[in-house]
């Protein structure tokens, strides 16, 4: 079967099986084309709660599928490729955070949404890259422990200097691959381009950016801007998708190393097998994990 036929078959089967397909923006174009919704991790989990279908297939990484399950416990949620995990989400475990909390009892624990649901059970509130600053500002506590991404945490700390923000050494192994040198080199090649970066990049890169935002915020900014050239400091697929969306503009990846192999491990064939019922993995979480992790996510929704 060629790509087009495979896509047609997926579209036919998802209707027959009452299945909603969610695809994170880092997925390949042929997967985005068969999705009901595309976007960043948080947008997708909210869309899932509104979708009329009883079944949901997440094309992304495990923590995203878990977030969907927590927000829509009545739905059957599948992850299209069971090996797709986010290394950052799995960097810190519950025991570590419990011991840091015990040593810092007056700190509010703020968790990036890129965490396992198990870790969320011991955190006070979740944030996304687009809501982190707003939520940290609104929290009643002045002492914040921000996990797991110390780069997003540093970005938040700069925007909220009035709070005491403690960080642990964690972060996205993909976004930390770019350096200030890459910025220099790419700016020299494209002097008129605006630099748009994800706050998971290191502070020396973030401080040189013209715009800092989540995946969706970067895409939105580029689409709406009157500028014609952009250097994209996040997963390489975003520069590619923007080139299709805005053929009159030019998009250059900040580095060719910005490839998330976990996000890219899902193929259209995985989607097909999942839709057929002979691939993917159903996400199951115990009731205690679901209810404790949900509190952390609900607090984010309430404050964001």
* 128 touches, from ligand 13P, ligand SF4, none (C-beta below 5 to 8 Å by class): ligand 13P
Question: Looking at 127, 145, 172, 209, which residue binds ligand 13P (CB under 6 A)?
Answer: 172
Sort strands 229-233 and 194-197 into parallel, antiparallel or unpaired. parallel
Using rule CB under 6 A, residue 41 touches ligand 13P: yes
Name which position in 165, 263, 271, 275 contacts ligand SF4 (CB under 6 A). 263
Question: What is the DSSP-derived secondary structure letter of residue 49?
Answer: H
Rounded Cα distance between 51 and 208, Å, is 39
Instruction: Work out how close the CB of 36 gets to ligand SF4 at its nearest, in angstroms, rounded to a whole number.
Output: 21
User: Could you give the CA distance from residue 88 to residue 274 in angstroms, rounded to a whole number?
Assistant: 25
Q: If you search the block for the tokens 């009035």, which residue do you land on?
A: 162
Q: Does 86 bind ligand SF4 (CB under 6 A)?
A: yes
Give the max Cα distance, the chain: 59
Residues between 90 and 119 with contacts to ligand SF4, criterion CB under 6 A:
114
By beta carbon distance, the residue nearest ligand 13P is: 40
Q: Does 88 bind ligand SF4 (CB under 6 A)?
A: yes
By a kind-dependent CB cut-off of 5 to 8 A, residue 262 interacts, out of ligand 13P, ligand SF4, none, with: ligand SF4
CA 100 vs. chain centroid, Å, equals: 25
Q: Is 214 in the site for ligand 13P (CB under 6 A)?
A: yes
What's the order of all strands across the beta sheet hosting 143-147?
Answer: 125-127, 108-112, 143-147, 164-167
200 binds ligand 13P (CB under 6 A): yes
What residues numbered 99-118 form the site for ligand 13P, per CB under 6 A? 114
Rounded CA separation 222/220 (Å): 6
Q: Which two tokens stand for residue 186?
A: 């790419």
Name the minimum Å distance from CB 17 to ligand SF4. 27
Say what the alpha-carbon torsion angle 28, 34, 38, 44 is, to the nearest 10 degrees. Answer: -120
Supply the minimum distance, in Å, between the C-beta of residue 232 and ligand SF4.
Answer: 13
- Strands of the sheet containing 19-24, edge to edge, are 37-39, 19-24, 55-59, 76-79, 281-282
For residues 80 and 47, what is the distance between their CA atoms, to the nearest angstrom? 18
Site for ligand SF4 in 37-66 (CB under 6 A): 61
Residue 55 Cβ, how far from ligand 13P at the closest point, in Å?
23
- Interface residue list for ligand SF4 (CB under 6 A): 61, 86-88, 114, 172-175, 200, 235, 260, 262-263
Residues engaged in binding ligand 13P (CB under 6 A): 40-41, 86, 114, 128-129, 172, 200, 214-215
């Amino acid at each position: 079967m060629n790509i087009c036929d495979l896509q047609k078959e997926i579209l036919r089967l998802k209707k027959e099986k009452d299945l909603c397909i969610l695809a994170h923006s880092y997925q390949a174009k042929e997967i985005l084309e068969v999705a009901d919704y595309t976007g960043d991790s948080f947008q997708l989990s909210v869309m899932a709660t509104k979708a009329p279908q009883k079944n949901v297939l997440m094309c992304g990484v495990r923590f995203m599928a878990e977030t969907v399950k927590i927000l829509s416990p009545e739905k059957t949620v599948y992850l299209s490729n069971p090996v797709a995990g986010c290394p950052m989400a799995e960097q810190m475990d519950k025991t570590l955070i419990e011991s840091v909390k015990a040593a810092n009892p007056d700190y509010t624990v703020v968790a990036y949404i890129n965490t396992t649901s198990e870790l969320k059970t011991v955190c006070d509130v979740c944030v996304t890259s687009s809501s982190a600053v707003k939520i940290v500002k609104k929290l009643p506590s002045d002492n914040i422990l921000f996990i797991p991404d110390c780069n997003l945490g540093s970005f938040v700390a700069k925007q909220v200097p009035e709070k005491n923000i403690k960080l642990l050494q964690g972060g996205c192994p993909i976004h930390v691959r770019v350096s200030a040198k890459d910025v220099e080199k790419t700016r020299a090649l494209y002097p008129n381009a605006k630099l748009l970066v994800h706050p998971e990049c290191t502070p020396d890169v973030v401080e040189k950016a013209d715009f800092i935002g989540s995946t969706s915020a970067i895409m939105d900014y580029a689409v709406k801007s009157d500028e014609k050239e952009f250097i994209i400091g996040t997963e390489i697929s975003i520069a590619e998708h923007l080139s299709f969306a805005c053929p009159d503009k030019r998009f250059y990846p900040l580095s060719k190393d910005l490839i998330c192999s976990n996000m890219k491990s899902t193929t259209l064939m995985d989607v097909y097998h999942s839709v057929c019922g002979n691939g993917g993995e159903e996400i199951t979480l115990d009731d205690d994990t679901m209810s404790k992790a949900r509190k952390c996510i609900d607090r984010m929704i309430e404050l964001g």
